[in-house]
Amino acid sequence: MRSASILFAFFGLAAATASAQDPVKVASKQCKVAFENEYVRVLHWTLSPGGKVPMHEHPALVSVSLSGAKTRFTAPDGKTTESESGARQATWSEPETHSSEDLSGKPGEVIQVELKKKPTPAMTTIAASEDSVKVDPKHYKVEFQNDRVRVLRIRYAPNEKSVMHVHPANVAVFFDQGKATFTLPDGKTIAADTKPGQVQWGDKEKHLPQNTGAKPFELILVELR
């Protein structure tokens, strides 16, 4: 019985430690869950000048800086690194445990797309002939890609439209206030309004987008692989 009690206590401590390192728990004022499903958890960080975040951990993720940031990260062994990102920049991070401190001296916002369960091939496989980057390179550019994600930067001028194409399951991070319509293969259209910092999950879909607003708009699309 004593061994069992020690074992239960050990696992209870481990679970508590893991929970304590969740950034949503240790930095509840700065870090909010914007969206979550079985494949991703999307975090919205609101950073203050000189703000510090206690030790926490992340799985592999994509960060999208809405306003630019300069940050010092401290690993559990005390090693420090500094990272600087520009506004609207997307970056990749492997799983990591660290504390952080803002060095920019100004408020900032960051969206982080944490990767969870790997999606099924049915959610991610698309034909080359329907790949947005291949059929519409004017509007769709690859920022980076690896075995988990392909990250696209999408830009549309006012009233510009694309051609019919397919996206795998994805998370969109919008930078601008705007309006768009999506025409589906059956001719049905869906209208959408966007705003800065908005995040949106998208299932695999075939569509033809058009910017129906009077201003350009830009977004980052994190396609799952």
Q: For the full predicted model, state whether its pTM sits above 0.75.
A: yes
For residue 68, name the pLDDT band (cuts at 50, 70, 90).
confident
Domain assignment of residue 83, given as a range: 24-115
Q: Could you tell me if residue 15 is inside a domain?
A: no
- Kindly report, residue by residue over 74-107, the tens digit of the pLDDT: 999 999 999 999 999 999 999 999 999 999 999 9
Q: Could you tell me if residue 10 is inside a domain?
A: no
- Structural tokens at position 111: 């969206």
- Kindly report, residue by residue over 99-151, the tens digit of the pLDDT: 999 999 999 999 999 999 999 999 999 999 999 999 999 999 999 999 999 99
Looking at the fold, whether 145 and 202 belong to one and the same domain comes out as yes
For residue 3, name the pLDDT band (cuts at 50, 70, 90).
very low
Q: Could you tell me if residue 18 is inside a domain?
A: no
Tell me what pLDDT residue 20 has: 53
Looking at the fold, whether 48 and 91 belong to one and the same domain comes out as yes
Looking at the fold, whether 125 and 111 belong to one and the same domain comes out as no
Domain's final residue, options 115, 149, 170? 115
